[in-house]
Structure 1
Amino acid sequence: MSEAVSRGSAEVRESTGNYAAMLLVLLAATFLVRFDFFVVNVAALSLGTDLGAGATALELIVGGYAFAYAAGMITGGRLGDLHGHRRLFVLGVIAFTVTSLLCGITATAEQLVLARLAQGLAAALMVPQVLAVITSDFPPHARGRAFAGYGIASGLGSIAGQVLGGALVQADVAGLGWRLIFLVNVPIGVVTAIVAARVLPDRRDAPRTGLDPLGTLGLSGALALLLVPLGLGQPAGWPAWTWVCLALAVPVGVATVRWEQVLGRRGRSPLLDLRLFRLPSFRLGLVAGVAFNAYFGSLMFTLSLLLQAGLHLGPFAAGLVFSPMGVCFSLTALCGGRLFARFGLDSLVWGSLVTAAGLALLAAGLHVSGAGVGVAWVLFCLALVGLGNGVVLPSLMGASLTHVRPESAGVASGVLATSQQFAVSGGVAVIGALYFGVVGHDIGGAAHAAAMRWALWVDVVLVLAVIGAVLALKRNRPTPLSGVDGSPA
């Protein structure tokens, strides 16, 4: 009897250790992907100086990564279902490591844009396997903490990209400058791939879905036709091709939706399960997630430009300005789940209000003081933003999936994550274009302060849209037994 108890205790300890090792590897990859999106922000001026990267190139270097990541995410998840999550995760980590090396050794801005697109596609192979492994291989009692860890790793990766990225650029180790922000991924990626091959389970389910290359091409094409001219049009003076692309985005998008409907009627596996959009909680949650991520991506990009070009802070000092946001985000994210469990959707409303207040106060400070706004005021406002974000971000996706059938949760998660990444890219492109349009050819601090003020008010509107979507979600919540199409399960 005692031997059986001892054996059982040993198995529990071994199992717990395995799950801890698995989670550590998965969260390391999640952190890296988010880190590499935001780390470029603090290197923006260095890239402009060393590679001659102008406004258009900077938007593509930042937003192109997010666009490629979003475009390949659903396909990456389906490849994991077909060929095994461990295999695709390891391949994704290796590809991410190689493309990070390519980013670090590029000689021109054009090469860096291409390398960043490839890096985003590598991330699209890697990250969907994180959620899949947590869902399929972690026991129910461990999934809650694992998903919470996923949300926290994503948020901290975003902030660390600003803080640690600034430190790396400022350190200028061996004269590498901005290149170090990419090269540091190489040893981390090698270790992560080796450990992942050892600790992740080699399991695959019988494939229930296939690939939808036409759907992937159509969706990515429609969004590219929309986002590229919005990002590049203003610096280029809105030439004819930008208007042609914008006009083509609508028919390409409509044709893609029709194709998805045809696949659904044939019993095939469309890229987008359009039945999900009949469920109010999913539809409104998607709107809230898109608005939130568009604001957050644009804020990190434009504020980095203000701090360095407008307030003349170095990369490290500019990165440190984001530290209070990171600390406050961590504090509220750790208890965000409990707040949501106790107060429900009201916690998301109040968190969004705190975020909006921080943004509005920063805009007001810039209106009053311009480029003379004190760094202490910026720190205070960003701390408020971090407090609000920590309440909203970890719970937003869970609230959107509350009434989705379990068998549709994987597809629904992929659609939400993809839309949110496209939103980050769109926020950088559209609000970044607004920022550069206000600055124009004026390199003075006053011009950057004015541009940031406009960008902040747009961000406030986006956060208010989050609040509106959450309030609508409260009014339209179906019963817990509703199915994916809103009918009784």
Structure 2
Amino acid sequence: MSVLQTRTHPTTPTPPAPYPDRWRVLPVILSAMFMAMFDWFVVNVAASSLQHDLHAGQAALEMIIGGYGFAYASALITGGRLGDLYGYRTLFVLGMLSFGFASLLCGLASGAWMLVAFRILQGATAALMVPQLLALINTLFPVTERPRAMAAFGATIGLGAVSGQVLGGVLLDADLFGWGWRTIFYINVPIAAVAALLAARWLPAQRAPERPSLDPIGALGISTALAALLVPITVGRSTGWPLWTWVSAAASVPLLALVLRYERRLAARGGRPVLDTAMIRERVFGAGMVISGGYLAFFAGFMLCLTLLLQDGLHLTPLRAGLTFAPLGICFASSSLLLARRVAARFGNRVIVIGTLTSLTGTVLTLGVLLAAGPGITAWALVPGMMIVGLGNGMTIPSALGAVLSSGIRPEQAGMAAGALTTAQQFGNAVGATVIGTIFFSVLGTATATGDYVTAMAAATAAGLVILAVVLAAAWALPRHAA
């Protein structure tokens, strides 16, 4: 070839062909998110059964519900970095099998504190599989197809959470084989086995292009700092906020600051920290973490308090209470799959503002119904507001994640970024359920009348509005279009 020909027809790198089985494997990897969210919310429905069968006191019950959450949130960043190190398929399969085994142990538990220990193990194993999901979407799907995959991911978050309420009620009502509450854990075992088998067959053996080191100091330090904050948040209210909860929460702040300083210095020396502090200081990434964490904080608190109102205030069975959430779940999934991409195509990142305003509208409507109806409220009077909340959530959650993952995340950071984002979500879950739940119980006090539950729910809903206002401010901080 002549010099002229070389100059006339320059050689350009050919982008790698998309992974051919990406759409076939997507439902398999989404099953991890579904099960993780399902197991977070399903225990709310089974709370009374656990109290009766295992004689679980309030502190043990709080740990059964929250122990999973703080173990999950504390280990997510490490789980994401392990995927970068050892391969996303390897960690996904390992996490899925471990999650199935931990679920089996939960079902076999013979005492309340034994179940607490197995729930903590279950949360830690969920942290191995879930970050690989976002990393795989970011690496297997070309940029043009990523919004569709993220829409499915967003729908899965909503379906998993709502199914915890709906399917949990169905399973408890059916009482399969006389297993009672144990069924909600046993159901994970065959699903995990099938998902792990299909993932091992269909997923490519893929890891970050540049293999990072593990950074054990950063991994242990971040997990410890988050646990030091999440444990007292989880058990503080039920134990009367003893001194150790305040000491632990206060110590978490300087501990996390020290770890982040170490991570920053490690990066400056050319090392590979488990969390790149420069990444989280970026405008889009920082705003995305606030939006993701804030939205899940609102959603977790809203769902928990609604469950308490429906079951304890209106005396609905777990099945009837669960079915009340079905319209919300349908709207969440429909909005994620059908509305989010179309609105984003026209308005860019302003879809997150539109979605947040929609959720605010639904929350204001719910608050208005609570205040107007008072003790005479019915479950179905709450459904219209819940449906509008679902529509807003479905637009916002996948769009926020998509905005972050398309903002220049390098391939070798995919697992780290996914771990940080899902940590923000689950941290929001834990904080939202605790803070909004504390407001609910503080207003309720020792009262048991329906009207008192309605008043407590109104206060919790107002707190949710404050959280959504913070999310709205973060959404406005995003650039309208990706850079």
Equivalent position to 1:461, from 453, 457, 466 = 466
Matched, 1:349 2:320: no
Distance 2:223 2:452 in 1: 35
SS at match of 1:351: helix
The question of 1:185 aligning with 2:206 is answered no
Within a 5 Å distance, the mapping from 1:227-306 to structure 2 comes to 227-306=230-309
Q: Which amino acid aligns with 1:338?
A: R
Kept after mapping to 2: 8 A contact 1:104/1:183? yes
Match of 2:453 in 1: 448
Q: Distance in 1 between matches of 2:315 and 2:265?
A: 55
The correspondence for 1:314, drawn from 314, 317, 324, is 317
Match of 1:338 among 338, 342, 348: 342
State the Cα distance separating 1:95 from its structure 2 match: 0.6
Q: RMSD value over aligned CA atoms?
A: 2.3
User: In structure 2, what residue type is equivalent to 1:359?
Assistant: T
Q: Matched residues in 1 for 2:214 and 2:351: separation?
A: 38
1:398 correspondence with 2:406: no
Work out whether residues 235 and 437 of structure 1, in 8 Å CA contact, stay in contact via their aligned partners in 2. no
Contact 1:227 1:429 in 2 (8 A): no
Aligned counterparts, 1:336-415, within 5 A: 336-407=340-411, 410=414, 411-415=416-420
Q: Write out per-residue CA displacement over residues 25-60 of structure 1, whole angstroms, 9 at most, x where no aligned residue.
A: 112222222222121122122222222334433333
Letter in 1 for 2:430: S
Point out the more displaced range, 58-67 or 179-188: 58-67
Q: Are the structure 2 counterparts of residues 143 and 370 from structure 1 closer, same or farther at C-alpha, using a change threshold of 3 Å?
A: same
1:416 equivalenced with 2:424 (yes/no) = no
Gaps of 5+ in 2: 1-18
C-alpha change, 1:127 and 1:139, in structure 2 (3 Å) is same
What CA distance in whole angstroms lies between the structure 2 residues aligned with 1:247 and 1:332?
40
Residue by residue, what CA displacement relative to the aligned partner does 1:79-119 show, whole Å, maximum 9, x if unpaired? 22322322222111111111111111212221222111111
Which segment is superposed worse, 92-101 or 235-244?
A: 235-244
- For 1:59, the equivalent position in structure 2 comes to 62
SS of the residue corresponding to residue 236 of structure 1 reads coil
| Residue 179 of structure 2, aligned match among 142, 159, 176 | 176
The worse-fitting range, judged by mean Cα deviation, of 317-326 and 109-118 is 109-118
Q: TM-score, normalization: structure 2?
A: 0.89
Q: Which residue of 1 aligns with 2:13?
A: none
Conserved 8 A contact 2:363-2:465:
yes
Find the residue that maps to 1:234 and give its secondary structure: coil
CA contact (8 A) 2:151 2:340 kept: no
- Quick one: distance in 2 between partners of 1:65 and 1:42? 15
Distance 1:45 1:64, change over 3 A: same
**Is the Cα contact below 8 Å between 1:366 and 1:453 reproduced in 2?**
yes
Give the match for residue 3 of structure 1. none
Alpha-carbon offset, residue 151 of structure 1: 2.1
Is the Cα–Cα contact under 8 Å of residues 41 and 300 in structure 1 kept in the other structure?
A: no
Q: Aligned residue for 1:327? A: 330
Deviation at 1:354, TM superposition (A): 1.8
Offset of residue 316 of structure 1: 0.7
Partner-residue secondary structure (3-state), 2:236: helix
Alignment partner of 1:235: what SS? coil
Paired amino acid for 2:227: A
Q: After TM superposition, give the deviation of residue 199 of structure 1 in Å.
A: 1.8
- AA aligned to 1:241 is W
Separation in 2 of the partners of 1:420 and 1:56?
24
Matched residue type, 1:285: G
Could you tell me whether the CA contact under 8 Å between 2:76 and 2:419 is conserved in 1? yes
**Counterpart mapping for 1:424-443 below 5 A:** 424-443=429-448
Q: Say if 1:33 and 1:123, in contact at 8 Å, map to a contact too.
A: yes
Q: Hey, what's the Cα distance between the residues in 1 that align with 2:142 and 2:349?
A: 27
Letter of the 1:38 counterpart: F
TM-score by length of 1: 0.88
Please state how far the C-alpha of 1:407 moved relative to its aligned partner. Answer: 4.4
Question: Which of 138, 149, 157 lines up with 1:135 in the alignment?
Answer: 138
The answer to whether the Cα contact below 8 Å between 2:84 and 2:412 also exists between their aligned partners in 1 is no
* Residue deviations 1:205-229 (CA, integer Å, cap 9, x gap): 5553222332233223323333332
2:439 alignment partner AA: L
1:286 CA drift (Å) = 1.7
| Secondary structure at 2:181 match in 1 | helix
Q: SS state of the match for residue 210, structure 1?
A: coil
Give unpaired runs (5+ residues) of structure 1. 1-14, 481-489
Superposed CA deviations along residues 318-351 of structure 1, whole A, max 9, x for unmatched, are: 1101011011112221220121121123322222
Post-superposition offset of 1:183: 0.7
Question: Which residue matches 2:107?
Answer: 104
